[in-house]
């Protein structure tokens, strides 16, 4: 009985043969619809910040560095490749590429930055894109959550709301004694 079982297992293993792929030496193309590294098309982007507002990993940043230039920065280090930005882009400016071999020793290799030339609306003070056409109506479409010109940045940091007493409590915290014998 024991031998019979072992023979059956041997048959399964032999029938399967070698399944290890010669992967790094033979390329393995990703299947269609694969969610690889997202790529921005700067000619289509209108700087609406829909992707930045809805990125679950908060890895897309938008910032107005002056009245005319808005920077879009994609930092791949935290990206989860969920493809939410692709779903939400009103201009279809983002595509999920089939690139997945992203190991690198330089973080800058994975970062994408787009400088968008914007115009400032004289009424509301918001930036809008003049190069393609007037898209200002579309800016409100996807919930422009963090567009505060005072703060000048898209991602909210809640540390600013943190009570100073609580921070103090943490700073003076005494570590417990090591257990004695």
Partner 1 sequence: MAKKEELRELLKAELKDDFIGEELAGERRLFVDVHNRALVKTAEILMKQGARYQVGVGYESRKGGRGLALVHTFAFDNDALIVIVRTFAPEDNPEFDSLTPIIPGAGWSERECIDLLGFRFKNHPGPKRLVLSDDWPEGIYPLRHDVPHDLMPPATRDVVFRLEQPPPGTSIVPFGPFHSSLHEPAHFSVYVDGENIKGCEYRGFMTHRGIEKLAQTELTYNDVPFVAERICGICGSVHSVNYAQAVEAAAGIKISRRAEFIRVVMLELERLHSHLLWLGVAGHLIGFDTVFMQAWRIRERIMWLAERLTGNRKTYGMVIVGGVRRDINKEKAEDIKQVLKEVEREMLSLEKAIINDKTIHKRTRGVGYLSKEDALKWNLIGPVARARGIAIDARKDHPYAAYDELEFEVPVVDYGDVWGTLVVRVKEVYEAINIIRQCLNKMPADGPLAIDLDAPIPSGRQALSVVEAPRGEAVHYVLTGEENKPERWRVRAPTYANLQAVPEMLMNNKLADFPIIVGSIDPCISCTDRVVVIEIGLQKIKVMRKEELETISRKMRFEG
Determine if 106 is a binding residue for partner 1 (CB under 8 A): no
Question: Measured between alpha carbons, how far apart are the two ends of the chain, in Å?
Answer: 56
Verify binding: residue 166, partner 1, rule CB under 8 A. Answer: yes
Contacts of 50 (CB under 8 A, 6+ apart): 85, 88, 89, 90, 141, 142, 143
Choose which of 1, 14, 77, 103 interacts with partner 1 (CB under 8 A): 1
Quick check: 75 binds partner 1 (CB under 8 A)?
A: no
Nearer to partner 1, 83 or 135 (CB): 83
**CA–CA dist 61, 52 (Å, integer):** 6
According to the binding rule CB under 8 A, does residue 33 interact with partner 1? Answer: yes
146 binds partner 1 (CB under 8 A): no
* Piece in contact with partner 1 (CB under 8 A), picked from 24-32, 67-75, 110-118, 128-136: 24-32
Per CB under 8 A, the list member of 43, 106, 122, 163 interacting with partner 1 is: 163
Q: Is 84 in the site for partner 1 (CB under 8 A)?
A: yes
Exactly one of 27, 108, 123, 173 binds partner 1 (CB under 8 A); which one?
A: 173
State yes or no: residue 178 binds partner 1 (CB under 8 A).
yes
| Token pair listed for 101 | 């071999």
For 102, phi then psi, to 5°, come to -110, 10
Cα gap 58→40, rounded to integer Å = 16
* DSSP-assigned states of every residue in 61-98: EEEESSSSEEEEEE-GGG-----HHHHH-TT--EEE-S
Q: Residue 38 pairs with which residues in a beta bridge?
A: 96
Name the site residues for partner 1 (rule: CB under 8 A): 1-2, 5-6, 8-9, 11-13, 16, 19, 30-35, 54-58, 80-84, 87, 96, 145, 156-159, 161-163, 166, 169-171, 173, 175-176, 178-179, 181
């Amino acid at each position: 009985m024991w031998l019979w079982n072992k023979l059956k297992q041997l048959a399964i293993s032999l029938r399967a043969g070698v399944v290890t792929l010669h992967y790094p030496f033979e390329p393995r193309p990703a299947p269609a619809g694969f969610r690889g590294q997202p790529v921005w098309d700067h000619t289509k982007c209108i700087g609406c910040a829909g992707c930045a507002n809805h990125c679950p990993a908060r890895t897309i940043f938008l910032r107005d560095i002056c009245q005319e230039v808005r920077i879009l920065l994609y930092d791949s280090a935290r990206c989860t490749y969920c493809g939410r930005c692709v779903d939400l882009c009103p201009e279809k400016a983002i595509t999920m590429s089939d690139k997945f071999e992203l190991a690198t020793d330089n973080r800058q290799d994975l970062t994408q930055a787009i400088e968008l030339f914007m115009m400032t609306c004289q009424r509301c003070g918001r930036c809008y894109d003049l190069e393609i056409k007037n898209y200002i109506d579309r800016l409100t479409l996807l919930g422009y959550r963090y567009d505060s010109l005072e703060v000048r940045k898209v991602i909210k940091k809640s540390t600013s709301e943190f009570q100073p007493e609580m921070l103090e409590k943490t700073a003076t915290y005494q570590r417990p004694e090591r257990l004695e014998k």
